[in-house]
Structure formats: structure tokens, C-alpha cells
Amino acid sequence: MSVNWALPFDEKILPEDKRNVVNIETYHEIHKRSINAFRDFWAGVASELEWYKPWEKVLDDSNPPFYKWFAGGELNACYLCVDRHAKTWRKNKVAILWEGEPIEKGIPKEIRKITYGELYRLVNRVAYMLKTVYGLKKGDTIGIYLPMIPELPIVMLAASRLGVVYTVVFSGFSSDSLADRMNDAEAKLVITADGGWRAGKIVPLKDIVDEALKKSPTVKNVLVVKRIGNEINMQKGRDQYFEDVLETIPINATVEPERMRSEDTLYMLYTSGTTGKPKGIIHDTGGYLTLLHGTMKWIFDIRDDDVFWCTADIGWVTGHSYIVYGPLLEGATVLMYDGSLTYPEPDRWVSIIERHGVNVFYTSPTAIRGWMKFGPEWVTKHDTSSVRLMHSVGEPINPEAFRWLYKYVGREKIPFGSTWWMTETGGILISHLPGLYLVPMKPGTNGPPILGIDADVVNENGVSQSPGERGYLVIKNPFPGNIMTLFKDPERYKQVYYSRFNGYFYAGDYAVKDKDGYIWTLGRADEVIKVAGHRLGTYELESALIQHSSVSEAAVVGVPDEVKGEVPVAFVILRQGNEPSEKLANELNLWIRQKVGPIASLKNVFFVSKLPKTRSAKIMRRVVQAVAVGKPVGDVTTLEDQASVDEVKKAYMELTKEVSK
């Protein structure tokens, strides 16, 4: 059965800037040509980077789905992002423009401007330190647990200069999450800070690391960046201050960039899936940088006098690609802000745009909805006319949020889009391309697939859906930037992404294509929820809950939230001898926050005596979800695998009765 989805909007807005305006039919013709010759197309993009050694084959597809882009070619990410620019006039151009959270009378206490010349010195010294003091070499792994300070990109670049694989763990994750990742990655060194600032409070990062390292035996050393300057525990023989060690490195130390093969790992990043613990997504070097180069030009229209600001945290892929590698690859000035976007007042983010003259702005629906709560007067009291292009990412954008930012920052005339991609794809795959062609915008859509990407919406059997019919989002051709494999689990890589639709890359999203060929992604089709744009596996939360001594069984589902898009709620069966109470509900919430991190906060805990299950003992998730949001059962009867309509109805009634008790 196909559902005809009513699109939230079908209205077109043409930006004022009419450069290269094309109608959508023309775009599709150009797009089709790029798809028919996608190898040549991407080779053209890659040839704009500087290679030590050209590739032998554009795409080695001899062992699908283990694709190797630009096989045989050699390059280095740090060289391309730093050395290349430091050799030119950009030596004195600001590469990283950083602002910290602490502020007094409207004047930030800390602003740092690091030029490409200075960045060159810094990454060389840090690389030299990692190599000579810690003996790190190509293929070793380190962990990075830092707030949004310049040392974060500097360490990432220094590691990539050496070919040292790193994994950044978002500084909002708990000690358990950090320990799991360090163990899986077998990290030898962790780089952290003495603390971080968040809405005026100190986040005790070093304490969290100490806790995590009790369970992470592979980590032998900890480097601590002084961010706060507070007293912290330093373990002798294991921990050292970053600044102290760096001081021992000659000012002009240099390290030759390692010649990396195109398919060599640049970094690993953990993300949640439907089962098991978060998995390490492996990204290559050549394909990844090629996709970033293309998307920075076409989607962000990056220019040399731009200040580019992406409000994400580098702990997520968005920051890796569009704070660090993408902007620096293009020699841009990238703004980095470390702190809460609404501290000390709701207009902090707008004051940053004004203070630094931000030209290109990349943010998320959750951030926009958070700002909307405070009213437009916080925005309009600042001058944001420097912004000439905006995009959003992370979750579907609701038309209200789109319109709000479009009106108050976009002055109802600049291009604004919702770029679709995911940790696995490395860079944006679906977006309109204002740097190339301006096609009509529609609030809420992701736009057409970018050039060289054959994205489609298919039904259960992998057949293209007609316009307006909901289906699953797939990418039909191999593409640069895509995940190479899952760390230590190539079988699962094949199974998760390539088995469901016979060789197509399966994203895990529902989507619909409209009659103009624009794609509207509609949210996850699996057991993954997006909380404030961040990915959480409901399975992970359930596993954390059942580790609590009072819990016997748990089901976690996502429910809509006005600001965060979606938030988790839990249905819990208690072990004998435990009584439901508000106190216990709070305790379970605290437990989840400690086990996973504050982003996993539960909106609600329902104590129940039974969970609806199919005959094969699988939790009927859609029933649980329907009950959680108070949606009628009619919508879910056809959606639950292996259960009859009657069974689903009965389960729904029973569960509803329990939660309304």
C-alpha cells in the first residue's frame, strides 16, 4: 500500500540574487549527465585537490560494497588544509576565528584569531610532539575529548598529518560512553581539557576522563589542555599538561606530512545504530576530501572574503566536515564558538554574527526553535545583513522554523536550505546548490540530489516510488565520502547499509519525492531517534536501563518535542520488590544521563507490568510509540511485523490502560 503524503508546502521562493538561476528541469538535465558519468564527474572534482601521486583508478569497485575512491592516489589532509594556504598570501589570513563563552558587559573575554601561517606552525609542533614524545605513528589511534577550543582542530590536523587515526568523542558524552569508545578504538592516548564552559558552568571534563580510564586499559597517557585553569587531579606518569609538553618542542619544528593513500583512514567517529553499542564509522581520505571540496563550493558558495560559521559541535560529523576539513580545505575563515548559543542572553548567537560579520551560516532546526521561543526582538536588535547564505542540518526542518530564520536573518531574500546527509556519508548529498545554480526554494525540503549523487525514494522492493509516495531513501551509485566500513565489523557494514535494497546504500530514512524531483526526508525509518539533531539508538537506552538493579524490562521510543524535535520516553517493567514512584523515575533518568550523557534525558518514565510483544517476542515498538504520543491505534495496525490487527489492537488497549492508571 502506498501512502500519498501531503507535503507541508508547495510554494516557491526565488532568492533575490538571480545569478545562474535555472529552472528545475534544466537542473535535472545537468544532474542526469553527472550521474551517467559519475566517475568522470567526481574525478574532475578530485583533480582540483593537490595529490602527491595521481590515482590509478577513479573507483575500484572490484569488491562491492567496499569501494575505494581514487585508488592508488596519495595525498594528506593536513597538507591540503594548512600547508597549501600557508604558502600563499593566505599565510596572514585568519583561518580560525574563535570566541569563548565568558563575556563581560557584552564584550567576550576571549577571542583568538589564528592565521594560516600560525596554524601551520601549531600543527607542525603538535604533530612533532605526538610523534617524538608519544611515539605515535601512522595507524595508531588516539581519543579526543575536548570542548570547542582551537586545540581541537589543531590536534585533529596534527594527527592527520601523521596518519594517526583519531576519534573525537563529543564532550557531552558520559564517562561510560567515553570508556566504550576508547576500548573499542584501542586508543593509546586521550587529549582532553581541565574543563569546559557551558552556560556559565564548568563541565569537569578531566574528572570524566579519570572515571572512564578506570575501564580503558589501552590508554597510557593523557594530555590536558588548560582551558579553565582550575585545580584538577593529575595522575603522575600518565597525565601531562598539553602546554607544558608543547613548550619543550622547538618553535620551528616541522614534520613532513605522511603520504596517505586515498583509501587510508582519516578518522573514525562513533554513531548509534539500531542494535548493539555505537559503531565506529571509518572515513577515508581522498573520497572524503573530494566530497567536501565540491559541497563547500556548490552548497556554501564559499569565497575568500567570507566568514563561515557552522553552529555544530566538532564532536559530531557536521563539525568534522564543515568546521574543520571543509572550510580549511577551501582556505576560508571559519568561526568557532565555544559555549551556549543563548548565554548570557538569548541573543548571543546573533551578537556573534554581528561582531564577526558572518557571511555563510549553517545551523540546525533545534537551534532555530530554541531561539524562536525568545521572540524576534532579540534578533532584530542586531545587524545580520552580512549573512548572504544559510543552511540547516540534522533533522527535518519544520516550515515555521524555516520561515522564522528566513525572515529575521535571511531578510526574506537569501538562499536557505536544509541539507541532508549523515555521519556515514561524510558530506552533504541532498541540497540545492546556490553556489552553482539557484533553483526555486521550498521551505522544508532538502532539495534535489547534488550533482554526482543518484538519490532516490524506493518502496519495500527497491522500486522507485512515484512523486508523492512515501518510501525509503537510497543512494544508487557509489559516491566519494561514503563510509568505508564499520570498525572491526565489515559484515555488519554490508548488512546495515547494502543488504536491504540489493546494492543501494540504505540511509534508514523515510522520504518522499515531489513532482519537481525535490526530496523531502521525513525522519528515521528504524529504531534510531534524533534528539536535538543527535542520533540515539533506542536499543542503547534500553540496555542502559536494564542495567539498573530495579529494572527488568524496558522499551524506549521517541515522542515529538517542540524544541528538540524528538525526545525519548521509557516504558519500564520493574523487578519484584520495587514500587513505581516519582523518585524512582527521577533516579532512572539520572542513571541514563550518567550512562549515556545528558542528551539522553528521558521526558517521561511509564511504569507498566507488561510490554506488547509479537509472537517472536519482539517489542511492538509502534504500538508503544502510539501509546506514548496518544495517537489512535488505527495508524499502527498495518505497521507491526508478525502480528495480527487484533493482537495489535489488544496490546494497544492494554498498554493505554496501564499508562493512564
Which residues bind to ligand WT7, rule: CB under 6 A? 271, 317-318, 393-396, 418-423, 446, 507-509, 521, 524, 530, 535
Nearer to ligand WT7, 232 or 389 (CB): 389
Nearer to ligand WT7, 227 or 524 (CB): 524
Q: How far is the CB of 458 from ligand WT7 (least distance, A)?
A: 15
Q: How far is the CB of 321 from ligand WT7 (least distance, A)?
A: 8
Walk across the sheet containing 360-363 and list its strands.
Answer: 111-115, 94-100, 333-338, 307-310, 360-363, 389-392, 416-418
Query: How buried is residue 86: exposed, middle or buried, by Cβ count under 10 Å (0-12/13-18/19+)?
Result: buried
Element (H, E) at 192: strand 189-193
283 φ/ψ sector (left φ>0, alpha ψ -120 to 50, else beta): beta
Query: φ, ψ for residue 243 (rounded to 5)?
Result: -65, -40
Amino acid at 231: E
Nearer to ligand WT7, 445 or 637 (CB): 445
- Beta bridge pairs of residue 113: 97
Walk across the sheet containing 551-561 and list its strands.
Answer: 551-561, 565-574, 604-607
Q: How far is the CB of 409 from ligand WT7 (least distance, A)?
A: 18
Q: How far is the CB of 445 from ligand WT7 (least distance, A)?
A: 9
Nearer to ligand WT7, 442 or 524 (CB): 524
Query: φ, ψ for residue 505 (rounded to 5)?
Result: -80, 120
- Beta bridge pairs of residue 475: 455, 505
Q: How far is the CB of 312 from ligand WT7 (least distance, A)?
A: 7
According to DSSP, residue 4 is labeled B
The answer to whether 417 touches 441, Cβ cutoff 8 Å, is yes
Q: How far is the CB of 106 from ligand WT7 (least distance, A)?
A: 32
Amino acid at 345: E
Cell numbers that stand for 279 in this block: 559503531
Q: How far is the CB of 364 from ligand WT7 (least distance, A)?
A: 8
Give the end-to-end CA distance of the chain in Å, rounded to a whole number. 36
The answer to whether 299 touches 499, Cβ cutoff 8 Å, is no
Nearer to ligand WT7, 242 or 322 (CB): 322
Q: On the CB side of 471, how many CA atoms lie within 13 Å of its CA?
A: 24
Query: Which of 336, 348, 308 has the alpha carbon at shortest distance from 103?
Result: 348
Q: How far is the CB of 527 from ligand WT7 (least distance, A)?
A: 13
Q: How far is CA 224 from the centre of its chain?
A: 25
Element (H, E) at 646: helix 645-659
Peptide bond into 65 cis (omega under 30): yes
Nearer to ligand WT7, 315 or 339 (CB): 315
Nearer to ligand WT7, 232 or 451 (CB): 451
Cell numbers that stand for 3 in this block: 501512502
Q: How far is the CB of 572 from ligand WT7 (least distance, A)?
A: 26
Nearer to ligand WT7, 122 or 430 (CB): 430
Nearer to ligand WT7, 71 or 484 (CB): 484
Buried/exposed 435-462: b ≥16 CB within 10 Å, e otherwise: bbbbbbbbbbbbbbbbbbbbbbbbbeeb
Q: How far apart are CA 120 and CA 60, in angstroms?
A: 33
Q: How far is the CB of 497 from ligand WT7 (least distance, A)?
A: 12
Q: How far is CA 274 from the centre of its chain?
A: 17
Q: How far is the CB of 372 from ligand WT7 (least distance, A)?
A: 18
Nearer to ligand WT7, 216 or 625 (CB): 625
According to DSSP, residue 62 is labeled S
Nearer to ligand WT7, 271 or 538 (CB): 271
